[in-house]
Structure 1
Amino acid sequence: MATLTHINHAGEANMVDVSDKAVTTREARAEAWVSMASTTLDLIVNGQHHKGDVFATARIAGIMAAKKTADLIPLCHPLALSKVEVQLTPDIARNSVHIQSYCKLAGQTGVEMEALTAASVAALTIYDMCKAVQKDMVIEGIRLLEKRGGKSGDFSV
């Protein structure tokens, strides 16, 4: 089993020192799903939601969240992201919205947390914008899909 890198020799939480790591291209993709009633999804897809463009707002929120990950998750390094992308796709058959995020940089540490934060906050934004219409929406399936670069190598589901 791998050792926990955010724990020092005394068992205390600490930020990992990445100063000796090579600067390499790091990429990560994550996803989330928001399930809802077909009527709620129709409002979003048809642009009839009274709060405005739900997808545009969720996309911007996800991008902003990725950039603020170090402010939200303790011990995350602040990163100079070179690319953040958030895609929102309605899935009419499942009455849901599929969110995929992508983060990239040239740096000394990975961008998995940034991709996961982007997908999570985009999902929360959809919930926030639609809660007046439906309170029992479900956010689920938040997970890392893939990561590339770094000492630990590539990962893909």
Structure 2
Amino acid sequence: MSKLTHFNEQGRAKMVDVSAKPETIRTAFATSSVELSHELYHLIHDNKMKKGDVLAVAQVAGIMAAKKTSDLIPMCHPILINGVNIEFAWEQKNELQYILKINATVKTKGNTGVEMEALTAASVSALTVYDMCKAVDKGIVIGPTFLVEKTGGVSSADFQRNR
């Protein structure tokens, strides 16, 4: 069983000290999804949403969110992010519904990982799609959101989710 590192000797929350960890190249890949109607798929795909290009705005929102993760998640370290990439892919669930897959990859050279930044980027991209489309359909479903892969670091092994 792993030792919980975010608690001090009094059992209270603390930010982990990563100053002794060596800098390594670290990456994280997370995904989220947005399930939406056939109508919304066509409005987004054909760039006919009144608020503008949904995917372009969601992409920028995800990048911005990755950079602001430590402002949102209390125990996350503010880190220098070297790169963020957000990609989208469509899947047709059935004749009435589509799924937008959102993939976020974040990279840094530092002494702590970027899993939370990738998860935040994917999540905020999904929330942005909802925000831009809710006037047409409030029944949009977000998720699941999860870490797919992480690399880098010394103390913990690389991770790859079994699909």
What TM-score, normalized by structure 1, do the two folds share?
A: 0.98
Q: In 2, are the aligned partners of 1:33 and 1:96 still within 8 Å (CA)?
A: yes
* CA shift digits 1:65-92 (9 cap, x unpaired): 0000000000100010000011112223
Q: In 2, are the aligned partners of 1:83 and 1:104 still within 8 Å (CA)?
A: yes
2: CA distance between counterparts of 1:7 and 1:87? 36
Q: In 2, are the aligned partners of 1:80 and 1:105 still within 8 Å (CA)?
A: yes
Q: Is there any run of 5+ residues in structure 1 with no aligned partner, and where?
A: none
Is residue 2:160 matched to residue 1:156? yes
2: CA distance between counterparts of 1:140 and 1:93? 14
Is residue 2:18 matched to residue 1:15? no
2: CA distance between counterparts of 1:93 and 1:14? 43
* Structure 2 match to 1:115: 118
1: CA distance between counterparts of 2:2 and 2:88? 35
State the superposition RMSD in angstroms: 0.8
* Structure 1 match to 2:148: 145
1: CA distance between counterparts of 2:66 and 2:10? 31
Counterpart residue type for residue 16 of structure 2: V
* CA shift digits 1:31-68 (9 cap, x unpaired): 00000111111100011111110000000000000000
Counterpart residue type for residue 89 of structure 1: A
* Structure 2 match to 1:48: 48
Q: How many residues align?
A: 157
Alignment of 1:55-70 (within 5 A): 55-70=55-70
2: CA distance between counterparts of 1:38 and 1:92? 9
Aligned-residue identity in percent: 51
Give the secondary-structure state (helix, strand or coil) at the position aligned to 2:18.
coil
Q: Is there any run of 5+ residues in structure 2 with no aligned partner, and where?
A: none
* Structure 2 match to 1:73: 73
Counterpart residue type for residue 37 of structure 1: S
2: CA distance between counterparts of 1:9 and 1:112? 26
* Structure 2 match to 1:96: 99
Q: In 2, are the aligned partners of 1:45 and 1:90 still within 8 Å (CA)?
A: no
What TM-score, normalized by structure 2, do the two folds share?
A: 0.94
Q: Give 1:112 deviation, angstroms.
A: 0.1
